[in-house]
């Protein structure tokens, strides 16, 4: 069998560095083919490389390779954003189950930018918190099992960082900790557990195995917060 190859190279990181310095439509138009070659194709190869292992973790994950379901968008929605640059200088590969009505649900993800690689679990409330998995599944479960988050903290805190957001007077506030207080879950808007990885590690064939290890560690978080009985 041929030796496994790395999906990502220095060209991917270089593209995002240059995009950060030239974040305008005219530059992207001139570099569209480069974007496809250095970013889109490597991400799609990485999805293909991981597909079978990810399905063994959860056979109901959506792996159709669609933007939105598996890949983040490079175009930034600037309608209500403070940052008016047209493009994001990072991309995410995401794994999640299809949700009814496209409601917000949890994801296992890997993200890559010019200088940073992260992998982990995240769940957001979205624009309609009452219809999200966070409100419909996660919060009721935490109410019945108030020690569950603390148990996950003991299991994972040496390898992963955790931060979360809740609303205070209508504003999101970030908390760099584990949301162990059941009362916080009544207003929690997002929870992220992640690991930072060096760009050099992402350019090695062993990167795939490292990401799968992260996903196996954190899949119980997704199952608890998002998957109905």
Q: Specify the CATH number for the domain of residue 58.
A: 3.30.930.20
Cα 49 to Cα 151: distance, rounded to the nearest angstrom: 32
Domain annotation covers residue 3? no
92 falls within a domain: yes
Would residue 196 count as lying in a domain?
yes
Residues with Cβ < 8 Å from 1, sequence gap 6 or more? none
* Domain-located, residue 185: yes
pLDDT of residue 169: 79
pLDDT for the residue 100: 74
The total of structural domains in the chain comes to 1
For residue 215, what are the CA distances in angstroms to 26, 108, 221?
A: 38, 6, 10
Residue 2 placed within a domain: no
pLDDT tens, residue order, the chain (229 aa)? 344 688 999 999 999 999 999 999 999 999 999 999 999 999 999 999 999 999 999 999 999 998 888 999 999 887 766 778 999 999 999 999 988 777 789 999 999 999 999 999 999 998 888 889 999 999 999 999 999 999 999 999 999 999 999 888 778 899 999 999 988 898 899 999 999 999 999 999 999 999 999 999 999 999 999 999 8
Decide if 4 is inside a domain: no
Quick check: 62 and 87 in contact, CB under 8 A?
no
Contact 193, 121 (CB under 8 A): yes
- What range does the domain containing 180 cover? 10-226
Q: Collapsing DSSP states into helix, strand and coil, what is residue 144?
A: helix
In this predicted structure, what is the pLDDT of residue 139? 94
Residues 91 and 202: their CA atoms lie apart, in Å, by 14
Has residue 117 been placed in a domain? yes
pLDDT score recorded for residue 1: 39
What pLDDT sits at residue 199? 95
Q: Tell whether 22 is covered by a domain.
A: yes
């Amino acid at each position: 069998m041929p030796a496994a190859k790395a999906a990502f190279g220095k060209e991917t990181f270089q593209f995002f560095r240059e995009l950060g310095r030239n974040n305008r439509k005219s530059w992207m138009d001139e570099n569209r083919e480069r974007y496809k070659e250095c970013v889109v194709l490597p991400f799609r190869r990485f999805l293909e490389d991981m597909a079978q292992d990810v399905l063994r973790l959860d056979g109901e994950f959506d792996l159709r390779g669609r933007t939105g379901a598996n890949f983040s968008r490079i175009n930034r929605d600037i309608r209500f954003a403070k940052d008016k640059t047209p493009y994001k200088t990072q991309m995410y590969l995401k794994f999640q189950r299809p949700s009814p009505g496209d409601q917000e649900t949890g994801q296992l993800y890997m993200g890559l930018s010019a200088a940073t690689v992260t992998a982990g679990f995240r769940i957001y409330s979205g624009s309609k918190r009452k219809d999200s998995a966070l409100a419909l599944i996660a919060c009721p479960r935490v109410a019945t099992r108030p020690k569950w988050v603390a148990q996950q903290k003991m299991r994972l805190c040496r390898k992963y960082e955790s931060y979360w957001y809740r609303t205070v007077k209508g504003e999101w506030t970030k908390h760099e900790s584990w949301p162990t207080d059941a009362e916080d879950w009544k207003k929690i808007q997002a929870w992220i557990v992640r690991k930072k990885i060096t760009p050099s590690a992402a350019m090695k064939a062993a990167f795939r195995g490292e990401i799968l290890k992260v996903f196996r560690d954190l899949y119980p978080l997704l199952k608890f917060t998002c998957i109905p009985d």
